[in-house]
Amino acid sequence: MQTIGRPTVITAGALLMILLGCQSTSTPPYDATTQRAMLETILTNQVRLVSAMTQPKSFDTDALPDGIEAVIQAFDPQGEPAKLTGQLTFELYTYRPAAADPKGTLLQSWNYAVASDQDQRGYWNRRLRAYEFPLRIDPQHLTTETQYVLLVRHNNLWNEHNTDQTVLDFAEYIARLRGQITATNRNE
């Protein structure tokens, strides 16, 4: 009968310890509920229209505004600035002064998806730390009013949504647009 020498036992023990030490001690993957809870702590749960920066803008070569540049900031559940992902819907309404809900008639709506790196680069303004969305307005949708309500609705990954709205004063924009329409009609 052959005996196992002491060096062999020590070597086998060391090898066993090494092998046991290499076993994975990580916890199993998180379940879906835990994953969602973790994501909800960092994902956008609030969007705000930046009223001071959301205003009529010209998107072509002339100086006459032909739409609205909507500026949006996103925030996480702790109120910290955040990037957003998901679907954004903008809606322009007539304004009803002194009403509990100032939104009147829906005039026009726009949809934007922020779902890729390209979308992030296209809409994100690093200097403002906000998103900018060009909302071209069909002049026929404008009424004789000078104030409008702009609403933004953000739908997240779970199709939950949050909204913000602001009242925009278009008096100067409307005057310039009417002047252009009048001048065009005279030239025809």
Tokens representing 101 are 């809900």
Domain assignment present for residue 176? The answer is yes
Look at the chain and report how many structural domains it folds into: 1
- Tell me if 103 is assigned to some domain: yes
| Beta partners for residue 153, in sequence order | 89, 163
Helix (H, G, I), strand (E, B) or coil at 43: coil
Q: Does the residue 14 lie in any domain?
A: no
**What φ, ψ does residue 84 adopt, rounded to 5°?**
-125, 160
pLDDT in tens, 24-56: 566 668 887 777 677 766 666 789 999 999 988
Would residue 156 count as lying in a domain?
yes
What are the tens digits of pLDDT across the range 86-126? 999 999 999 999 899 999 999 999 999 999 999 999 999 99
pTM equals 0.73
Least confident span in 31-45, 47-61, 68-82, 148-162: 31-45
Decide if 144 is inside a domain. Answer: yes
What range does the domain containing 92 cover?
38-187
Residue 32 lies in a domain: no
Does a structural domain hold residue 68? yes
How far apart (Å, rounded) are the C-alpha atoms in residues 37 and 80? 17
Q: Quick check: is 16 in a domain?
A: no
Identify the CATH number of the domain in which residue 159 sits.
2.60.40.1930
At residue 181, the pLDDT reads 63
Average pLDDT, the chain: 81
Q: Which pLDDT does position 81 carry in this prediction?
A: 87
